[in-house]
Amino acid sequence: MDTKVLYVTAIAIAAVSGGYYYYSGKSNKLQADSARSMNYSASNINLTQTDEHGKLYIRAKVDRLEQDLQQKTSQLNNLNASVYKDGRLDATFFAKVANGYNDNEKVVLRHDVQATKIMETGQMVFRTDELTALPKTREIETDKQVTVESPQAEFVSNGLKANLNNGQYEFFNIRGKYEPKS
């Protein structure tokens, strides 16, 4: 047999084999890409989470969750969450809609938002239309109007920045009344 025929046959076999492996691998990649871009949804969710010491950290109830794994976003309807610190109730959050970004590193609560901070002297309740929460750092903020009710004061602020860890609150353009305990 002529060597030229052997080379052509070898090249033809290599081309067919290479094409097969190339296209079979590419089709698997396309399947993986389409699986990664899937959206998930669930209804009537009850969540209980503990911290690294086994103490209760968060309890949440959500009517509906939609999650996009590729964009790392989520949307929750009728979020009702309770956050615990050292196993004791520390704060509660309610919102008709909550959008989570970057695997819920940032959560934006919207529509009839109510956040309640539990204190030794009572509760401090924040009501607003939109509130951004950073769960890892336990900070909340908004540039929207906030109604604040506490045992010592009732007022309206045109914005809020708060650190729930150390109890520092920053309010902007406050109008209301303050009654210190005698």
Mean pLDDT, residues 61-83: 86
Does residue 172 contact residue 160 with C-beta atoms inside 8 Å? yes
Q: Which two tokens stand for residue 62?
A: 């959500």
Q: Which residue has the higher pLDDT, 169 or 77?
A: 77
User: Under DSSP, is residue 138 helix (H, G, I), strand (E, B) or coil?
Assistant: coil
What local confidence, expressed as pLDDT, does residue 173 receive? 85
Mean pLDDT, residues 65-83: 85
What local confidence, expressed as pLDDT, does residue 130 receive? 92
Alpha helix stretches (DSSP H) within the chain: 3-36
Give the model's confidence band at 29: pLDDT under 50 very low, under 70 low, under 90 confident, else very high: low
* Side-chain-facing half-sphere of 120: CA atoms under 13 Å: 1
Q: Cβ contacts of residue 167 below 8 Å, gap of 6+?
A: 117, 119
What is the spatial distance between Cα 172 and Cα 159, in angstroms, rounded to a whole number? Answer: 5
Whether the predicted pLDDT of 14 surpasses 70: no
Beta strand pairing call for 88-101 and 153-157: unpaired
Q: How many CB atoms within 10 Å of residue 152?
A: 12
Whether the predicted pLDDT of 2 surpasses 60: no
